[in-house]
Amino acid sequence: MEQTIILSATISLLIFGIIGIIDGFYYHLWKFNLYKHKETRFEHITHTIRAFLFLGMLFLFFINDYGGKLFLLGVLFVIIDLIVLIIDLIAEENSREKLGGLPHIEYIVHVIANALHFTAIALILVAKPLEYWNYNSTTILNRNFPELTHLIAVNLALGVFLLAILHILLMNKRIGKLFEKLIPNKN
């Protein structure tokens, strides 16, 4: 049963990763240049924070199998991520007003991506043996995660890391202008 739950978490993670990269790169950076506008800058910052939190979750839940302190650090990342998501959702309505609002299709993408994100996290948490939720339990677990889980998480972590670094770099106006010159014209 545990392997089935982990595999289900992995599939949710993979689909989330595909949708998340499309949303993060296509909508946020390329189409709407959220880093560029004063009104959307805060939204861009919340996305950057969530990317780094997710990177931590990938390492603590999917790439490595931790218990105890490191596992609970990952749970803390999940809680902070949820708080940042709520802040982002509240800010998003006003931040996109001058850009014509949040497009319906992007709203759907956000709902599906976040549902898959939290499904993957919830499933991997459910797969964790109860004794490893203890703060003083063994740190590194000796369970055999499926190869596929590790492979998908490592590759997704690389993509998330690059996207998060790009988010930070784009906060610099010169780099933002260079980015706009390098990408094809979207109009």
Q: Scan for tokens 């930070």, then name that residue.
A: 168
Report the 3 state secondary structure along 85-105: HHHHHHHHHHHCHHHCCCCHH
> Rounded CA gap, 135 and 67, in Å?
8
What is the tens place of the pLDDT at every residue in 14-23? 999 999 988 9
The pair of three-digit structure tokens given for residue 29, joined into one six-digit string: 């950076």
Question: What is the C-alpha to C-alpha distance for residues 58 and 13, in angstroms, rounded to an integer?
Answer: 9
- Mind listing the pLDDT tens digit for each residue in 72-108? 999 999 999 999 999 999 998 888 888 888 889 999 9
> pTM for this one?
0.91
Mind listing the pLDDT tens digit for each residue in 21-75? 889 888 988 888 889 889 999 999 999 999 999 999 999 999 988 899 999 999 9
Question: Can you say whether residue 66 is alpha, beta or left, with left for phi > 0 and alpha for psi between -120 and 50 degrees?
Answer: beta
Q: For residue 66, what is the DSSP state?
A: B
φ, ψ at 33 (rounded to 5°): 45, 55
Tokens of 160: 């998330």
